[in-house]
A and B are shown apart, each in its own frame.
Chain A
Amino acid sequence: MKHGFLDKYSDLSSPLHSLSATTKVIVFLVLIIVCVTTAPTAYFSFAGYLAFLMVCLAVSRVPVIHVLRRSLVVVPFLAMAALSIPFFSRAAEGRNAITAAHPGLIVFQGIALKSFVSVCSLILLSAITPFPHFLSALRKLGTPRLLISLMSFTYRYLFLMVEEFERMVRARDARCYGGGWLWQTKVVGRMVGTFFVRSYERAERVYHAMTSRGFDGRVPVEDAQPMRLKDHLFVLPSVGFLVGCRIFLAPGWLF
């Protein structure tokens, strides 16, 4: 089993890892919100967010390469944004006329900065918080119980299902998968169908096993670790710093 591809490194021990999940969710949520609402040309604000991220990254001892590699998910959309730079007309965006930069370029650089900072903060958040703790924090912050139960099931069975699916892919490749595009699609369709049947039957077995152990429809979710003094000592300065960067270093509340 290849456990931990979802919240890899969340079992390290560092000052950041030991904080309550609620704390981490609040701080990183604030970071993402202030980041996506910052004007694209407020370079000092973005420098502040990046500095905050780098300090957290250093403290958490999560490898930088892990964060960078995962952040590549933004590339396809970024390519589409880059393609559309020339299509912005200079006249349409009057407020950028003073800066002499092409409005398309400004939009692109805003997108690039925002998506990079937010993606890295999400990656870091998932690398310092074990997923079950994350769910208990979400529960504490008011997510409906049903959604939390579903997400904890998803997390529990994800590894199993991915392994099962990889096994099927291996079996298919061993039987000379190839040939025309149409033929491949047909094989893939049948494979996903078989996989569906297997998953469904697994769900039925799981349900029977759970009922025989007294399942009454409620999935127990561990209580969130309460916020202690060190959590407050982390939340207040961090939120203060981020909101400060947003207000004092960037023009305008909304861009």
Chain B
Amino acid sequence: MHIPPGYLSSEVAVGTYVVGVGVCTAAVWKANRDLSEKQIPLLGVMAAFVFAAQMLNFPIPGGTSGHFLGALMLAVLLGPLTACLVMAVVLAVQCLGFADGGLDALGANIFNMGVVAGAGCYYVYVFLKRFLPKTRAGFLASAAVAAWFSIVLSSAFCAVELWLSGKLPLGVTLPLMVGIHSVIGLGEAAVTVGVLTVLMEARPDLVRDRLSTRTAAMVAE
């Protein structure tokens, strides 16, 4: 889903850069204010974690494969803005070090995979969590559905950006991207649930910090 260089028109590239950099600036500002010094190594290692976990491909029926994105998982565990910041760091290192995703499209990639998939879908998760029963299953289900949405929505935004740039017609890319990614999204949801399940057993303190006390009590049971 990393948009390579040369695909976006100047207007779309600049527009997404403005949004992406704006959100990251807010995240940096908030981090400078709120984060303790302990968080700096933590966030750096989290970025390296996401980077390494993205190298893992899971097979998709039909011959292709998709990889884990991790934006929603980070948002659930670290909060939406911090998740954006970590995703931006991952994408910047991937772009500058691996040429994975264009430099002109870095803003768009941060927008799709950080702002939409991380921060935006965090609110899908919050919304679902409010209406689902406050149990372990309700918590996991809302994270799973939001994780699916994080993949599908960011691929849809990707298709729309390419269309706005006048490069690829919406009629081809939107069904293609959303079709493939609605399957990849299932993998993302499963992996997210897996991570949260393991965390609730091994390090319940990490999950509990981010939840309201009532949900946390249910999850801890």
Q: List the interface of chain A (C-beta within 8 A of B).
A: 6-7, 29, 32-33, 35-37, 70-71, 73-74, 77-78, 80-81, 83-84, 87-88, 107, 110-111, 113-119, 122-123, 125-126, 131, 134, 144, 146-147, 149-158, 160-162, 164-165, 169, 181, 184-186, 188-197, 199-200, 202-204, 206-207, 210, 215-217, 219, 254
Contacts of A134 in B (CB 8 A): 96
Contacts of B25 in A (CB 8 A): 144
- Sampled A-B contacts (30; CB under 8 Å): A6-B93, A33-B104, A73-B4, A77-B3, A80-B173, A80-B176, A84-B172, A84-B173, A110-B6, A119-B5, A122-B5, A125-B96, A144-B28, A146-B32, A150-B43, A151-B44, A151-B89, A157-B44, A185-B58, A185-B191, A186-B190, A186-B194, A188-B58, A192-B194, A195-B52, A196-B73, A200-B45, A202-B45, A203-B44, A217-B37
Contacts of B173 in A (CB 8 A): 80, 84
Contact A153 B49 (CB under 8 A): no
Contact B198 A190 (CB under 8 A): yes
Q: Which residue of B lies closest to A125 (CB)?
A: B96
Contacts of A152 in B (CB 8 A): 44
Contacts of B137 in A (CB 8 A): none
Question: Smallest distance from the beta carbon of A220 to chain B beta carbons, Å?
Answer: 12
Q: List the interface of chain B (C-beta within 8 A of A).
A: 2-8, 10, 13, 24-25, 28, 31-32, 37-38, 40-49, 51-53, 55-56, 58-59, 61, 68, 73, 85-86, 88-90, 92-93, 95-100, 102-104, 166-169, 171-173, 176-177, 186-187, 190-199, 202-203, 206
Measured between alpha carbons, how far is A169 from B56 in the docked complex, in Å?
9
Contact A36 B61 (CB under 8 A): no
Among B7, B52, B56, B193, which residue has the most Cβ atoms of chain A within 10 A?
A: B52
Given known A80-B168, A189-B195, A200-B206, contact A118–B45 (CB-CB < 8 A): no
Name 10 extra pairs, CB < 8 A, besides A29-B103, A37-B10, A188-B58: A84-B169, A146-B28, A151-B92, A154-B51, A185-B190, A188-B190, A189-B195, A190-B194, A193-B194, A196-B73
